[in-house]
């Protein structure tokens, strides 16, 4: 493998992108479009709704990345509440601070979910989106989250189960080979299936899991499919697992399918909800 998996410990998805891949201007624009686009906005707001923050609450955003969720939480808890975003990356926190600069009820701490510098029972709720599939010791992280939540505190963890990916290609063997390369960037591709049991271990009462599916027959410039196309292409080439030509052919086939009305992409995000009693 071309990187040390131990270095992935508790990177948010945003930080993983920053650490692992180098992007050209076009790919950077695709990522910006996706983060502000319909799919990821829906994903973010659905996790927010599952947490249901109330005015005056103290909320923890785990793996806050560029701060888009932190900003949403800030508005939800209002001036009498407070949101703390944590991330192991100084560069991501710089971006998050800039994004939330006008929101006085927000603070950021450079740390990980395994070792948080907060007192016991400090928060009313915690949320983490697209982070836990990159954590190599989920029980330790959950135990630490349990410690810092107040009795009655809610925990919401959103993530992708990669077995739900359905992506049409005329060259099925090539598609499967490239997607198997992409699997290597994860610590665990099945995290949502394991969370209901794992969340109970430190003492949480597990509530429910909710599925959000994204299905597209168009290759939209702001969609998850377009983001995935560019990220997987970059990862596959930079890992050395495929040639630039083969990766380019894979991408061009998807553009051709889209032009001819044959494009199909589907992927599910799962929101796992628990409570500390």
| Mean pLDDT value across residues 213-221 | 95
Domains detected in the chain? 5-276 (3.40.50.150)
Classify strands 123-129 and 166-167 as parallel, antiparallel or unpaired: unpaired
Q: Which residues pair with 157 in a beta bridge?
A: 128, 272
Q: Stretch 55-62: mean pLDDT, rounded? A: 98
- How far is Cα 44 from Cα 76, in angstroms, rounded to an integer? 13
- Cα 149 to its chain centre, rounded Å, is 21
pLDDT tops 90 at residue 199: yes
Residues 174, 232: contact at Cβ < 8 Å? no
For position 123, what pLDDT does the model report? 98
Question: How far, in Å, CA of 135 to CA of 80, rounded?
Answer: 32
> How many CB atoms are located within 10 Å of the residue 208 CB?
10
Query: What are residue 127's DSSP bridge partners?
Result: 61, 156
Give CA–CA dist 186/8, Å, rounded.
9
Confidence of residue 73 (pLDDT cuts 50, 70, 90): very high
Cα 131 to Cα 125: distance, rounded to the nearest angstrom: 17
CA–centroid distance for 188 within its chain: 13
- What radius of gyration do the chain's Cα atoms show? 19
Least trusted range by pLDDT, from 13-17, 57-61, 85-89: 13-17
* Tokens 């939540």 -> residue: 149
- The predicted structure's pLDDT at residue 2: 35
CA 189 centroid distance within chain: 12
Reduced to 3 states, what is the DSSP secondary structure of residue 205? strand
CB distance 125 to 94 below 8 Å: no
Cβ-proximal residues to 196 (8 Å cutoff; 6+ apart), any chain:
206, 209, 272
Q: How many residues are present in the chain?
A: 277
- What pTM value is reported for the model? 0.90
DSSP letter for 260, please. T
34, 37, 40, 42: CA torsion to nearest 10: -170
- Which burial class, exposed, middle or buried, applies to 184 when counting CB atoms under 10 A from its CB (0-12, 13-18, 19+)? middle
Q: Check if the beta carbon of residue 159 is closer than 8 Å to that of residue 132.
A: yes
Q: Is the pLDDT of residue 3 over 50?
A: no
């Amino acid at each position: 493998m071309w990187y040390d998996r131990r270095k992935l410990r508790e990177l948010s998805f945003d930080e993983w992108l920053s650490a692992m891949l180098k992007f050209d201007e076009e790919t950077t624009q695709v990522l910006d479009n996706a983060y502000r686009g319909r799919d990821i906005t829906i994903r973010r707001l659905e996790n927010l709704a599952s947490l249901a923050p109330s005015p005056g609450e103290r909320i923890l955003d785990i793996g806050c990345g560029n701060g888009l969720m932190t900003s949403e939480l800030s508005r939800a808890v209002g001036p009498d509440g407070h949101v703390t975003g944590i991330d192991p990356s100084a560069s991501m926190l710089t971006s998050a601070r800039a994004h939330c600069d006008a929101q006085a009820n927000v603070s950021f701490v450079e740390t990980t979910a395994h070792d948080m510098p907060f007192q016991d029972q400090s928060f009313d709720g915690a949320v983490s989106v697209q982070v836990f599939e990159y954590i190599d010791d989920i029980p330790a992280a959950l135990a630490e989250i349990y410690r810092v939540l107040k009795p009655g505190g809610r925990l919401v963890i959103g993530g992708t189960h990669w077995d739900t990916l359905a992506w049409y290609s005329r060259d099925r063997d090539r598609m499967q080979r490239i997607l198997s390369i992409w699997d290597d960037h994860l610590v665990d591709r099945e995290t949502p299936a394991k969370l209901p049991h794992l969340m109970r271990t430190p003492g949480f009462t597990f509530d429910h899991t909710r599925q959000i599916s994204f299905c597209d027959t168009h290759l939209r410039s702001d969609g998850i499919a377009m983001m995935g196309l560019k990220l997987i292409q970059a990862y596959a080439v930079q890992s050395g697992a495929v040639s630039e030509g083969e990766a380019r052919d894979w991408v061009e086939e998807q553009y051709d399918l889209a032009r001819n009305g044959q494009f199909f992409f589907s992927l599910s995000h799962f929101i796992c909800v628990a409570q500390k009693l």
